[in-house]
DNA sequence: GCGCTTTGTCCGGGGGATTGACAAAGTAGT
DNA sequence: ACTACTTTGTCAATCCCCCGGACAAAGCGC
């Protein structure tokens, strides 16, 4: 029996941290709320909640915001999160452009700066990251919580970029580099996984325990949240569905094999197969119902639908959200996805599965990077 | 924000239970071991370990078994689990035969009884379960821990059988019924999931954090362990890969759709496609290299390999074990599975993925039912 | 005005992990 | 054989922090 990390003790400090994160989450999710309500929701005593809220108020993370209506007794004092109590530096390392921004605790972006990558080598690209961080950092008006980075490619759990798509980065320990250079906690993760966490944390009232977010753009990737946690798998490669072979007789992929999902369903692949000059033109002609491009778009949708059917069949995850530039293809594409996913999976399962349009989401990677950091530093999502 | 179960507090009692389970797991996995070693492994203090071990010894679950070699100081007293300190009643509700047995804490089966189902209706089948339990219970020589049941079909988390394959059981709350009738804790779960937990708990020195066990017999199903826990999904249907459509133009499945994995890869399907009189004959002719049946066997293997590629691509789980009667098909079949799984997934991923022959495993469901109960009652696997 | 509820806080109690000390029982060196 | 040093297991004291009860403040309904 070699592995023993699963033998990790529980301490009083952990109990405290858990309950502190619990109260913070309650404030975060349930808006202005009384201490008594938090106590009822969490099962903690009013005493403990009062103490934990006092801690949060001392840290400036929460504040009393007046009284609520009485329900037959003393009217409660409502406590709310101070959304701007902390600032997060977020980065989206796109394939051609790097973007940095500031975000508050709600993922509201304020200062956005971009830098073009054109022609820079790996070292210079890292320099660009540093410059962007220094640049937006000057605009911060509340204490910095840390740096969150989303990037294409494979990133392992400690924030080392295994390989980047079109940079000569290999085994670059970016999280550690950023922590040392800027003196702040840093998180680096794959962009699809960031997108999943953004959808989970900022996605509205529903917060499904299990959620798969599929990002379809230049590549095809997924972020998988299981039991309220991002799932990484044995090699932090979970969600790399773009290179599952869907058609062994298909065309060659840049990964060297034939018929990967990306060769059928990624934006460049669909544009090439449809023979249009640009993706914009493809969207226009798809919307117009052009018969010369529709079959290609539908085939791409069906390929994604089949992949979803495989996922839902195996995992029984009922919440699927699709984001990325490809969502501009609209109804025909989504219908193809839903039809194929439904046709290929068990009836009751297909009936309850929701495949949602998450939009093109230019900011989804920035938001995801922010969500990653909030999760890590404040425990805003479950992590134990 | 409707769902609030994720806001569950941590208490001192939970901390204690967690650490108690921790010590038990250490004894279970690491054999006779000193209190000091357990303290080092878990991070607990020697004081706490001593106290927790004393609790276990008082309950009869552990005992001192002499002294170990000195490493420069006082020689340690070794503590070991008493394998026979408790008895578990396990059941395998097969499609034609029900089997009951007693198991100790190591999953060693002692008293085995079977009952044929032939012609009984749903109510009589439940009676048979009761009789079998009463029957083996008389042979128990140590305190009973509870009842574990493995069954085909869909079972939800509270032990209610949603639908059974060839019994007229629908929404039968079997776990509750057994608890009331026999006055013991009861766990009911799908047989593939039971098999997964058996492989995880009793599978030897390796205990992978993530593990997929695929059971190929009369049906095709999977049990999925992620982060040391069985994963159920949103509707406790995770692992139902038998009805993912792999060939939309394939033959009709009993579920009503066409080309499900089961129509290609289950034992009855392969026997039918090969045209042999029995599965035994198919195995013999496959082993002999008969060209008339090999293509069918290889096609079945490739279908499973493709399904595995989809799973590993999505989840990056590197440990796959295949169990069930179909494993008797041996090397040709396994080679087809491994080749296809490798061909359809990313290079580095495929290289590290191990697809292991878990054997035909007549007892795997019984062992799994035992493992389920040990997990639930003693916390022998991670559950928080 | 009076009784009842609800809220938030204060205080004592207790569970349980931690720390430090110490005796027991080894090994290694001289 | 004697001394110095280690390691182990346990005991007592301490500390962290959750809990339960009590109580004042402040509302509601009659």
DSSP per-residue letters across A149-216: EEESSEE-TTS-EEE-SSS--EEE-HHHHHHHHHSS-EEEEEHHHHHHHHHHHHS-S---SSEEEEEE
CB B327 within 8 A of CB B216: yes
Asked if strand C contacts A288 at the CB level, meaning under 7 A, the answer is no
**CA distances, B153 to each of B208, B218, B263 (Å):** 26, 12, 17
Superfamily of domain A202-361: ATPase, nucleotide binding domain (3.30.420.40)
Question: CB contact, 8 Å: B264 with chain A?
Answer: no
Q: Cα torsion at B195, B198, B203, B207 (round to 10°)?
A: 100
Q: Given an 8 Å threshold on Cβ–Cβ distance, is B384 in contact with A384?
A: yes
CB A285 within 8 A of CB A297: no
**CA distances, A50 to each of A31, A45, A74 (Å):** 17, 9, 16
Of B30, B313, B318, the CB nearest to A244: B313
CATH number of the structural domain A87-196+365-378: 3.30.420.40
Per-residue pLDDT of chain B (384 residues; tens, 9 = 90+): 445 567 788 888 888 999 999 999 999 999 799 999 999 999 999 999 999 999 999 999 999 998 988 888 889 999 999 999 999 999 999 988 999 999 999 999 999 999 998 888 889 999 999 999 999 999 999 999 999 999 988 898 899 998 776 677 889 999 999 999 999 999 999 999 999 999 999 987 778 999 999 999 999 999 999 999 999 999 888 999 999 888 888 999 888 888 999 999 999 999 999 999 999 999 999 999 999 999 999 999 999 999 999 999 999 999 999 999 999 999 999 999 999 999 988 767 777 899 999 998 889 999 999 999 999 999 887 643
Instruction: Give distance CA B50 / C1' C29 (Å).
Output: 33
| Residue in chain B nearest A246 by alpha carbon | B344
Query: Roughly what angle, to the nearest 10 degrees, separates helices B35-42 and B12-29?
Result: 120
**CA distances, A20 to each of A63, A229, B8, B316 (Å):** 15, 18, 11, 33
Q: What is the pLDDT of residue A383?
A: 42
Q: Given an 8 Å threshold on Cβ–Cβ distance, is B234 in contact with A210?
A: yes
Dig out the tokens for B57 from the structure: 């010894």
Q: How far is B291 from chain A (nearest CA, A)?
A: 24
Q: Using DSSP, state whether A90 is helix, strand or coil.
A: strand
Please give the span between the terminal C-alpha atoms of chain A, in angstroms, as a whole number.
Answer: 23
| Residue in chain A nearest B11 by alpha carbon | A15
Instruction: Give distance CA B50 / C1' D13 (Å).
Output: 18
Regions of chain A with pLDDT less than 50: 1-2, 383-384
Question: CB contact, 8 Å: B311 with chain A?
Answer: yes
Q: Given an 8 Å threshold on Cβ–Cβ distance, is B315 in contact with A257?
A: no
DSSP A245: B
Question: CB contact, 8 Å: B15 with chain A?
Answer: yes
Q: Given an 8 Å threshold on Cβ–Cβ distance, is B313 in contact with A207?
A: no
Q: Given an 8 Å threshold on Cβ–Cβ distance, is A42 in contact with B2?
A: no
Question: CB contact, 8 Å: A231 with chain B?
Answer: yes
Dig out the tokens for A335 from the structure: 């219908």
Residue corresponding to tokens 């022609």: A119
Nearest CA to B134 among B104, B89, B175?
B89
Asked if strand C contacts B51 at the CB level, meaning under 7 A, the answer is yes
A7 contacts on B by Cβ (under 8 Å): 22, 25-26, 41-42
Instruction: Give distance CA B52 / C1' D9 (Å).
Output: 13
Nearest CA to A265 among A222, A225, A203?
A222
Residue A53: nearest nucleotide (C-alpha to C1') = C8
Q: Which nucleotides of C are covered by protein (CB under 7 A)?
A: 4-12, 14-20, 23-28
Q: How far is B383 from chain A (nearest CA, A)?
A: 11
Asked if strand D contacts B47 at the CB level, meaning under 7 A, the answer is yes
Locate the DSSP E strands across B191-282: 211-216, 220-226, 229-230
Tell me yes or no: is domain A12-81 CATH 1.10.10.10.
yes
**CA–CA separation, A383 and B302 (whole Å):** 38
- Quick count: other Cβ atoms within 10 Å of Cβ A184? 18
Please give the span between the terminal C-alpha atoms of chain B, in angstroms, as a whole number.
Answer: 23
Q: Pairing between strand A77-81 and A33-34?
A: antiparallel
Angle B124-B126-B132 (CA atoms, 0-180°, nearest 5)? Answer: 100
Q: What is the pLDDT of residue B113?
A: 96
Q: Given an 8 Å threshold on Cβ–Cβ distance, is A15 in contact with B15?
A: yes
Dig out the tokens for A61 from the structure: 């993370």
Residues 6+ apart with CB under 8 A from A8: B22, B42, B43
Dig out the tokens for A185 from the structure: 């906690």
Q: What is the pLDDT of residue B14?
A: 87
Residues 6+ apart with CB under 8 A from B138: none
The structural domains of chain B, with segments of one domain joined by +, span 12-81, 87-196+365-378, 206-362
Instruction: Give distance CA A194 / C1' D19 (Å).
Output: 40
Domains A12-81 and A87-196+365-378 share a fold: no
Question: CB contact, 8 Å: A210 with chain B?
Answer: yes
Q: What is the pLDDT of residue A3?
A: 56
What phi and psi values does residue B244 have, to the nearest 5 degrees? -80, 135
Q: What is the pLDDT of residue A118?
A: 87
CATH number of the structural domain B206-362: 3.30.420.40
Question: CB contact, 8 Å: A350 with chain B?
Answer: no
CB A205 within 8 A of CB B1: yes
Q: Using DSSP, state whether A322 is helix, strand or coil.
A: strand
Q: Considering only residues 5-64 of protein chain A, which place a Cβ less than 7 A from any atom of strand D?
A: 12-13, 15-16, 19, 43-48, 51-52
- Quick count: other Cβ atoms within 10 Å of Cβ A129? 22
């Amino acid at each position: 029996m070699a592995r023993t990390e699963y033998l990790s003790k529980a301490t009083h400090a952990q109990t405290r941290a858990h309950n502190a994160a619990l109260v913070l989450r309650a404030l975060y999710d349930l808006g202005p709320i009384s201490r008594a309500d938090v106590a009822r929701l969490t099962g903690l005593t009013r005493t403990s909640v009062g103490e934990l809220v006092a801690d949060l108020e001392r840290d400036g993370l929460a504040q009393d915001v007046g009284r609520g209506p009485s329900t037959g007794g003393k009217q409660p004092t409502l406590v709310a999160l101070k959304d701007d109590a902390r600032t997060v530096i977020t980065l989206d390392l796109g394939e051609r452009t790097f973007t940095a921004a500031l975000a508050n605790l709600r993922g509201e972006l304020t200062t956005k700066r971009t830098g073009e990558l054109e022609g820079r080598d790996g070292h210079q690209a890292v320099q660009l990251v540093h410059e962007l961080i220094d640049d937006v950092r000057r605009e911060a008006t509340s204490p910095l919580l840390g740096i969150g980075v989303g990037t294409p490619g494979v990133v392992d759990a400690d924030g080392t970029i295994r390989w980047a798509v079109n940079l000569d980065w290999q085994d670059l320990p970016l999280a550690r580099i950023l922590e040392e250079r800027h003196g702040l906690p840093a998180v680096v993760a794959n962009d699809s996984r960031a997108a999943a966490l953004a959808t989970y944390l900022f996605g509205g009232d529903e917060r499904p325990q299990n959620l798969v977010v599929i990002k379809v753009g230049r590549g095809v990737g997924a972020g998988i949240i299981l039991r309220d946690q991002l799932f990484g798998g044995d090699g932090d490669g979970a969600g790399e569905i773009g290179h599952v072979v869907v058609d062994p007789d298909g065309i060659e992929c840049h990964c060297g094999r034939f018929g990967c999902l990306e060769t059928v369903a990624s934006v460049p692949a669909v544009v090439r197969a449809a023979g249009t000059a640009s993706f914009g033109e493809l969207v226009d002609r798809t919307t117009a119902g052009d018969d010369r491009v529709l079959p290609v778009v539908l085939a791409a949708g069906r390929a994604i639908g089949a992949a979803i059917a495989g996922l839902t069949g195996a995992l029984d995850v009922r919440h699927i959200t699709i984001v990325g530039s490809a969502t501009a293809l609209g109804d025909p594409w989504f219908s193809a996805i839903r039809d194929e996913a439904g046709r290929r999976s068990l009836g009751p399962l297909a009936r309850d599965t929701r495949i949602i349009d998450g939009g093109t989401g230019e900011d989804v990677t920035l938001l995801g990077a922010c969500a990653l950091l909030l999760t890590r530093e404040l425990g805003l999502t479950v992590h134990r």
